[in-house]
Amino acid sequence: MATPVTRGASQLTTGVERHVVRRGIAAVGLVSIALIHLLDVPGKFDELPYVGVLFVGLILTTLLLAEAMIRTDDLRVWLVAGAVSAATILGYAISRTSGLPGDNGDDAGNWTEPLGLASLLVEGVVVLLVLGRLADRRTGVVH
């Protein structure tokens, strides 16, 4: 015989609580993207200066998005966070396949670079969180 699930406050979260947790995790993910790229930016200025500039832009953007994510539930913040994360994944994929303009192909095929893998993981998590937020919005989950 199955035991019925009780809906006690300690057992299940409400849509609002789940959403606050999702926003917090997304903010931490965005800060993590900034940190990963901060650790890699000095070498990028030596290799391809324009990639270093793009990294600085990404760092600033993700930090601003993290702050916005903490302060608001604006759908535009979620969409930009997802787009920035997805674009960063795409940039990594391009750098590992066809290569970036001006690159000698040094990174082509180098899919196991540790900071790159960490970045892909965090960016993928942020994209999944954005998709979850959009799915909740479509199903009418209270936020």
Name the pTM for this structure: 0.84
Q: Which two tokens stand for residue 117?
A: 């893998």
The answer to whether 120 and 16 are in contact (CB under 8 A) is no
**Tens digits of residue pLDDT in 75-134:** 999 999 999 999 999 999 999 998 888 887 777 888 889 999 999 999 999 999 999 999
CA proximity to 111, closest of 101, 123, 102, 119: 119
Given this model, what pLDDT does residue 120 score?
A: 97
The answer to whether 90 and 35 are in contact (CB under 8 A) is no
Given this model, what pLDDT does residue 140 score?
A: 64
The answer to whether residue 143 scores a pLDDT higher than 60 is no
Given this model, what pLDDT does residue 32 score?
A: 98
CA distance readout (Å), 73 to 34, 79, 111 = 21, 11, 35
CA proximity to 56, closest of 69, 76, 39, 68: 39
Query: Within 10 A of 3 (CB to CB), how many other CB atoms are there?
Result: 5
**Tens digits of residue pLDDT in 16-40:** 787 889 999 999 999 999 999 999 9
Given this model, what pLDDT does residue 14 score?
A: 64
Q: SS3 for 79?
A: helix
Q: Which two tokens stand for residue 91?
A: 């940039």
**Tens digits of residue pLDDT in 40-82:** 999 888 889 999 999 999 999 999 999 999 999 999 999 999 9
Given this model, what pLDDT does residue 125 score?
A: 98
Tokens 């997304």 belong to residue: 26
